[in-house]
Structure 1
């Protein structure tokens, strides 16, 4: 049994922590909203009073937080998690943050003798519940090998993609692709509707051809039903696309379609839809087309 401190029990973090308990680990969880620790406690885990409380005595600490500043505030600093962890222990940051911040965490961990892995995930809430997440891990080989048994309790596709920061870079590419494909699905649905085509039947045949994708499989039904209960919020995808555009600019890479998608996601958020699922890009396309209501 490994003692794991888990900080961040939101839509994704709570089922991930529950799956760690089911795998036989002793999990101590913290969330700013105490009520969100209830699923973990109900599954046999324990609630912590603070991030530091969760990290004390833990073999592994996992963070699943909204943004780079949140991770920096919790992990670094005079009373950050790294100051509470023992040499030889392991920090796995599963948030989606800037690659340069992930590199900084690894450097500070190395200075203190603590292994650090950046291991963002893809697969949405259902993937977190089913323990079928795709996990892209960055870090040195020793850190990755130490993290692998823990990651296997939460994901089904786990790949060591490179040194510190590489996991976050791959996640940025993931979010670029996901955002762009959702936008194209939204445009296609509005296009089909404008021509009076039965969209349910159209999606069925499109899913069986080259246009088929996990996004079409998972998101089209909700888009057709105009059900945008968040599996992944517009607010978070807006943040992620900001990471992508900044990293692309730094590398001198052109992402014209990605930049447009980022602009549309930002506009959707500005219109008050930040709490909806990112598939609500459909509302934006409808508005631009003069169809439906945004």
Structure 2
């Protein structure tokens, strides 16, 4: 099976490498030539969107947001123009579920299958192949192609029809952001009260407050390490999509709105490209203390 892989960023590059390791034939495309060169060293081939579409059984995208996915798939020279009927498009980008369904409707008219399959886990899990996939799409299509996803992740769950994957991802991103905000607030309280944050971490990480988010982000906060595993600006994008989705279905998300304002503050004050654990900087500023 030949897989076309478009988008070799923080997440896409290691995931594409894992497909190479699994023995798939890969044709890759990215704006950054150094990323393409890195995949070629792993055995992948590079190609234009047209070449990928004409020569792939499955086309995968891992792109920033809906406009980029629409352009790559449905643009004037997009892959949908050249893909053969009976092939499949798997979008691993985190986008608005409304857009996933729109793209899928057009592809269905061309007899092209589609899954929306956003992921959670950040760069470390992308590297070691243990991300969690949240998948939307036809059940038969899911069964046919889920093995590809298992080569990049340790959890692959079908959540419903097309768009359900991205709806689940939006819920995930609300929870992750809320966790990081709560952790930041709590640890600044501890520091302000004169308690060593490292001791607090050791004391509570095994209890009910412990979480994957806390285990991953508190050491980064303590060391002021904001090398991006998942950038603030990308989380802003996800929360914008969550707010738009919530407004369209009548869901109430006041906490999400508050966290989005904190994220926007970070963007406006030089942390847009930092890891989302930089939420701690917002609380450090308000409390006038460093963790």
TM-score (structure 2 length as normaliser): 0.98
Write the deviation string for residues 209-231 of structure 1: whole angstroms up to 9, x where unpaired: 00000001111101100010000
Say yes or no: does 1:16 pair with 2:15.
Answer: yes
Q: Could you say what secondary structure the match of 2:199 adopts?
A: helix
Map Cα deviations across residues 137-160 of structure 1 (whole Å, 9 max, x no partner).
000112212220111110111000
Q: Which residue number corresponds to residue 4 of structure 2? A: 5
- Residue 248 of structure 1 is matched in structure 2 by 246
Q: Secondary structure at the match of 2:242?
A: helix
**1:276 is matched with which residue?**
274
- 1:41: which partner in 2? 40
**2:267 aligned with 1:257, yes or no?**
no
Does the CA contact (< 8 Å) of 2:49 and 2:77 recur in 1? no
1:79 Cα deviation from its structure 2 partner: 2.2
**Aligned match of 1:207:** 205
Q: CA RMSD in A?
A: 1.2
- Provide the C-alpha distance between the structure 1 equivalents of 2:223 and 2:259, rounded to a whole number of angstroms: 23
Mean alpha-carbon deviation: is it higher for 277-286 or for 51-60? 51-60
Moved more, 122-131 or 246-255: 246-255
Deviations 1:31-67 (A, max 9, x none): 011111122112111222x222222210000000001
1:173 is paired with a residue of what secondary structure? helix
Displacement of 1:291 after TM fit?
Answer: 2.5
State whether residues 106 and 139 of structure 1, in contact with CA within 8 Å, keep that contact through their aligned partners in structure 2: no
Aligned partner of 1:167 in structure 2 is 165
Residue pair 1:123, 1:134 contacting (<8 A) in 2 also:
yes
Q: Is this contact kept in 1: 2:129–2:153, CA < 8 A?
A: yes
Tell me which residue corresponds to 2:154.
Answer: 156
Q: 1:68 aligns with which of 37, 49, 66?
A: 66
Post-superposition shift, 1:272?
A: 1.8
SS at match of 1:91: strand
Query: Are 2:12 and 1:27 equivalent residues in the alignment?
Result: no
8 Å contact kept, 2:6–2:30: yes
Distance 2:199 2:26 in 1: 45
Displacement over 4 Å in runs of 4+: none
**TM-score under structure 1 normalisation?**
0.97
Match of 2:235 in 1: 237
The gaps in structure 2 that reach 5 residues or longer are none
Q: Matches of 1:202 and 1:84 in 2, distance apart?
A: 56
Query: Aligned pair count?
Result: 291
Are the counterparts in 2 of residues 20 and 153 from structure 1 also a CA contact under 8 Å?
yes
User: Is the Cα–Cα contact under 8 Å of residues 18 and 39 in structure 1 kept in the other structure?
Assistant: no
Matched residues in 1 for 2:46 and 2:184: separation? 41
| Cα shift at 1:246 | 1.0
